[in-house]
A and B are shown apart, each in its own frame.
Chain A
Amino acid sequence: MPRPPEPEELRARGRWPPPPGPRVAIVGSRRPSPYGEAVAERLAADLAAAGAGVVSGLALGVDAAAHEGALAAGGCTIAVLGTGVDVIYPRANADLAARILVSGGALVSQFADGTPPQRTNFPRRNWTIAALSDVVVVVEAAEGSGALITAEAALSLDREVMAVPGSVFSPLSVGCHQLLRDGAGLVQNARDVLALLGARQEVLDDPLRPPASLGVEAPRAGRDPLLKHLSDALPVEPGQLARKLEVPLPEIMARLTALELAGQVGRRGAGFVRLAPGGISGAGVG
């Protein structure tokens, strides 16, 4: 979209202006895969722990995960709203918005108080997200996703654009891969972003921080071997598993449900995906 007119003023709730330091926008799909959600949360936590402010749009999915990650790491996070600063949309994130304020973050908006959600306002809001940030990281974005507008805005505004790769099978990573092909920086972990921001060497070399804290998980004992055949981005259907493993479908279905009951897998369409193990707590970011 063409560059919208600059907002006349920003209205804010919470701590404004924000504390000095670099700010990173983390944006992406409103319905990410468990993988995308985990990446957004972990990335935000690590960046916040390193002292960066995390900017996002308070939407469902990647946005919410980014805010949550920053809050969990005790960091500062800024939610840029597409509604009036006194209107929380979607309602499901009302609690998250309250916690952002309590933790010393801010809600900001370029729209007048009381502005309800309107389709045309969100793309303009995306430009503001880019304007407030030094780097925009796109976590998961399908073709035509709003997150790509934020990336485009970042380029127009001379901000850095980075993207997180995903499965080549996943429609949710098509936008990210396009960005990477067009020259966006590759993000595998928070260090990649921090390096671009010119963080001090000691932050990057922090021995307490695992070098690649994303996407690596310790194997757990006592797991159903079925988990080996599931991915965390690409849903696998019970029928496919039954055929591949030559196990009767009823048994596959029962075992998948047991795993679902244990919180280790989730449904996505007709298939199942592996869920990231228990949030970000204890991930060495405290």
Chain B
Amino acid sequence: MPAAPEAFGVATRVRSVLLRGLDVLPIDVEVDIATGQPGFFMVGLAGGSVREARERVRSAVRNSDLPWPPQRARMTVNLAPAEARKDSGGLDLAIAVAICLGQAGAEGPADAAFLGELSLDGGVRHVDGVLVAARGLARRATRRLFVPAGDAAEAALVPGLEVVGCRTLREVTDHLLEGLPLPAHEGGASEVEETPTADDLSEVHGQGAARRALEIAAAGGHHLLMTGPPGSGKTMLARCLPGILPPLTRDEAIDLAQVRSVLGELEPGRPLSSRRPFRAPHHTISMAGLVGGGSGLARPGEVSRAHHGVLFLDELAEFDPGSLQALRQPLEEGRVSITRSGGSVSYPARFMLVGATNPCPCGWEGDAVKACRCTPAAVDAYQRALSGPLLDRIDLQVRVSRAPLEALSEEPTGESSSVVRERVATARLRQLARQGHLNAGLTRAELRRLTRIRPEARRALERWSSARGLTARGFQRAWRVARTIADLQGSEEILEEHVLEALGYRVADAAAA
């Protein structure tokens, strides 16, 4: 064991990183070991978990059979920049490394960064957000990243970065001080894994119109609202949606993995999955849970977990109106920005919204067999509660009904998800080739410029509009949906039949007439 050097006065600098949402703040950990009033001081706006690092680091160093500065030494650890509040166990490894290098009188490596929490026996523990940290550091000229061994696969997704997985503190110091080998992680597990989805459309009984609406929604990226009595299979239908969407591309998978990384929800060793997320929060969820929040810096909510996938809100009318209002920003911009005491962060949240609701408080309005017991006024009020800004952004609406009992005993005869997915993928390619994004994102100007509509088709839209009092927005929604129907059919022009079918999925406008 090397003896503690007598020549104090060398400040050692080691780099680590702090997460700010999906961005990073590089942190310099500086250690100065000098003579003076003895003690171990940590400065630089350290939060609770960093102040506790003192104890973890001391034990970890000692239990790794590494030297600790003598009793009479005065050791100061500075975390820079000083004005940023630091609250993360991920700085442990950098602090310990800086102390060990400082005692040896060695400089910290200039192009490397350290991320990891220490256990008391000197082991290196998992931290959340390694992927995000790796991405941010790679952009800031860091070339080597030391991370907990279990998180190495995650960090290795970032190209141009040498990732070193560490199991113990001793391994790291031996490597840095003695030159012992510590192999870089091989990027083997970074392939996108194909996972079949559990729910298949071929399991759905009947529901012709709802199936078709799902297909159109998937093809054009349209948000969808399903209205129907309890037990009509709204949830089952929604669960089928990820299976008819094309699998995530690698870029999309990495986008999503970043969010999961921050939340610590990545599967260790297999960070990338091609499976579209399906999130179905209960209607009692808080606004912070839905769009993101929490104290200090906001954490991602369900809308970001559903990034590039499906956010399913069952019993839409039961959700807190404030939470539903908060969905407007992600629905429009594909991201959420949340400001909390610790600063402002922004998370991606581009999802397909699928809402489900009963038609009335008792649920049986319009059912063929069971009578509804609600007063007309109550039904009105219930349906109105859903209207407004949120409904304005939902292009497709469909009524579902309970499958008749005789249909339930038969084998379902519908197409399987893979057949539908083929058509969806083809229609999506057409849209991307034409306008670079899906039809759901078509603006008014793009609709006029890019999507040819036959005169009789336009007349049908206008006839409906004047007869049913379609708003300008409703008009555009129907136009967009008609565009997607035409794409599904492989038609560059929107024909009358496409418009008429699209209008068939406009329940609210029909009810308002």
Contacts and interface: CB of A to CB of B under 8 A. Distances in A.
Nearest to A30: B376
B497 A250 contact: yes
Interface string A14-39: 00000000000000001100000000
Nearest to B364: A171
Contacts of B377: 90
B163 to A, nearest CB: 51
B206 A235 contact: no
Contacts of B194: none
B460 interface: yes
B371 to A, nearest CB: 4
A237 interface: yes
A269 B367 contact: yes
A270 B228 CA distance: 8
A237 B498 CA distance: 19
A25 B336 CA distance: 60
Interface residues of A, number: 37
Interface stretch (B63-71, B176-184, B207-215, B299-307): B207-215
B424 interface: no
B493 to A, nearest CB: 15
Contacts of A174: 371
B370 A250 contact: no
Interface stretch (B51-59, B81-89, B341-349, B501-509): B501-509
Decide if the interface of chain A is mainly helix, strand, loop or mixed.
helix
10 contacts: A90-B377, A142-B371, A143-B371, A169-B368, A174-B371, A238-B209, A239-B210, A249-B209, A249-B212, A261-B460
Contacts of A242: 208
Interface in B139-195: none
Closest 3 CB pairs of A and B: A239-B208, A269-B366, A142-B371
B260 interface: no
A172 interface: yes
B501 A269 contact: no
B399 interface: yes
A258 B366 CA distance: 21
Contacts of B297: none
Contact of A254 (B401, B504, B510): B504
Given A144-B373, A261-B463, A271 B368 contact: yes
Interface in A66-101: 90
B366 A235 contact: yes
A238 B211 CA distance: 11
Decide if the interface of chain B is mainly helix, strand, loop or mixed.
helix
B358 to A, nearest CB: 12
Interface string A257-271: 110110000011111
Contacts of A238: 208-209, 504
Contacts of A260: 510
B463 A256 contact: no
Contacts of B369: 169, 171
Contacts of B207: 239
A250 B212 contact: yes
Nearest to B497: A254
Nearest to B401: A270
Contacts of A61: 376
A172 B373 CA distance: 11
Given A253-B209, A260-B510, A270 B400 contact: yes
Contacts of A171: 367-371
Contacts of B370: 171
Contacts of B368: 169, 171, 234-235, 269, 271
A45 to B, nearest CB: 24
A261 B467 contact: yes
Nearest to A143: B371
B365 interface: yes
A11 B210 CA distance: 52
A148 to B, nearest CB: 12
Contacts of B366: 235, 268-271
A255 interface: yes
B501 A253 contact: yes
Nearest to B404: A240
Which of A142, A249, A253, A267 neighbours the largest number of chain B CB atoms within 10 Å of its CB? A253
Contacts of B399: 267, 269-271
Nearest to B413: A243
Nearest to B485: A250
Interface string A223-251: 00000000000110111101100000111
Which of B211, B399, B463 neighbours the largest number of chain A CB atoms within 10 Å of its CB? B399
Given A240-B206, A270-B366, 18 more contacts: A30-B375, A31-B372, A169-B368, A174-B371, A235-B368, A237-B206, A237-B209, A237-B401, A239-B206, A239-B211, A249-B208, A251-B497, A251-B501, A257-B464, A261-B463, A267-B510, A269-B368, A269-B399
Contacts of B206: 237, 239-240
A243 to B, nearest CB: 7
B42 interface: no
B464 A254 contact: no
Which of A142, A169, A242, A257 neighbours the largest number of chain B CB atoms within 10 Å of its CB? A257
